[in-house]
Amino acid sequence: MTTNTQHLRIPGPAGDIALTVQGATDAPAVFMTHSILSSSMMWDEQAALLAAHGFRTIRADTRGHGNSQSGKAPYTMGDLVADTVAALDALKIERAHYIGLSLGGMSGLGLGIAHANRLLSLCICDARADAPPAVAAPWDERIAIALKEGCAALAQPTIERWFGKAFLDANPAVADRFRDTASKTSVDGFIGSARAIQGMDYVAQLSGISTRTTLIVGANDGPLPQAMKDIQALIPGAALEVIPGSGHLPNIDNPQAFNAAMLRHFA
């Protein structure tokens, strides 16, 4: 199925936000956000699939990532939530389904807490709801590297954490694409988003999320499968899907299983 694709820029409080929109304007909207050091390109396959299933997909580049402007760091998670609301307002979308992974999943939790009236459903992938010291501390070292050497110095270690070296060796085109995207992330965009992660603590508010929620996580994504089980226990009625053999980006390293779980959410 061929769908119309638009590339838009909307005014945001920290600079213009870049959006990629696919599908019919009168179709149910799905708003999609990505991980730190990535961009909306990570949702290419899923956006096309959803458009083919009768949805209108809106993929946002987070501040300082992809084609979005950065503004001055730091940001809060509330700032990133506000960017999503501003994008929905600009497109005159009253309510949308929301899919977010990692950083995008974290801001999605904030959206569910503060803006349930704008949501049809939530699909939160490979994300946490808080940043205890053991989680927050590594970001200080990464921020120091970005300040000294730029985000290119973070690119290879980041994609190795996400995918593992064996997957990258077997899929060089994927490796090149994600390494290049990470390298081109602005330093302010990275630092701002990293500080937002460090300052996040939504745990006490999760029980207030009333939107229908599905959680998806890669089985091999370190401590995140347990973290998402903990989130599931706090969000009323939340479903949890664990993608076997997958790391931090299961939509990329096991798209068949991820896409099936995603479509079950919409079914």
Average pLDDT over residues 222-244: 98
Q: Bridge partners of 216?
A: 125, 241
- Distance between CA atoms of 215 and 239, rounded to whole angstroms? 6
Return the ∠ at Cα 249 (arms to 197 and 171), rounded to 5°.
135
Q: Please tell me the predicted confidence (pLDDT) of residue 213.
A: 98
Burial category of 237 from C-beta neighbours within 10 Å (exposed 0-12, middle 13-18, buried 19 and up): exposed
Characterize 198-229 residue by residue with b for buried, 16 or more Cβ atoms within 10 angstroms of its Cβ, and e for exposed.
bebebeeebeebebbbbbbbbebbeebbebbe
Q: Please tell me the predicted confidence (pLDDT) of residue 13.
A: 67
- Distance between CA atoms of 58 and 75, rounded to whole angstroms? 22
Looking at per-residue pLDDT, the higher value among 61 and 9 belongs to 61
The share of the chain scoring above pLDDT 70, in percent, equals: 96
- Strands 56-60 and 29-33 turn out to be parallel
Would the pLDDT of 229 be above 60? Answer: yes
Average pLDDT over residues 116-120: 98
Q: Please tell me the predicted confidence (pLDDT) of residue 9.
A: 73
**CATH architecture of the domain with residue range 5-266:** 3-Layer(aba) Sandwich (3.40)
pLDDT in tens, 66-107: 999 887 878 999 999 999 999 999 999 999 999 999 999 999
Reported pTM: 0.95
- Distance between CA atoms of 221 and 252, rounded to whole angstroms? 13
Per the document, the length of the chain is 267
pLDDT in tens, 158-205: 999 999 999 999 999 999 999 999 999 999 999 999 999 999 999 999
Cα-only R_g, the chain: 17
Round the average pLDDT of the chain to a whole number and report it.
Answer: 94
DSSP state of 237: T
pLDDT in tens, 11-57: 766 678 999 999 988 999 999 999 999 999 999 999 999 999 999 99
Q: Please tell me the predicted confidence (pLDDT) of residue 137.
A: 96
What contacts 20, CB < 8 A, 6 or more positions away? 5, 6, 7, 8, 40, 47, 57, 58, 59
Which residue in the block uniquely carries the two structure tokens 């009625």? 237
Q: Please tell me the predicted confidence (pLDDT) of residue 65.
A: 96
* Token pair of 110 as six digits: 């904030």
- Segment (H or E) for 167: helix 165-170
Do residues 107 and 84 lie in contact, with contact meaning Cβ atoms separated by under 8 Å?
Answer: yes
Would the pLDDT of 5 be above 70? Answer: no
pLDDT tier for residue 2 given thresholds of 50, 70 and 90: very low
- Distance between CA atoms of 5 and 39, rounded to whole angstroms? 17
SS3 for 39?
Answer: coil
- Segment (H or E) for 82: helix 77-90
Would the pLDDT of 62 be above 80? Answer: yes
| Domain locations in the chain as residue ranges | 5-266
Q: Bridge partners of 58?
A: 21, 31
Q: Please tell me the predicted confidence (pLDDT) of residue 3.
A: 54
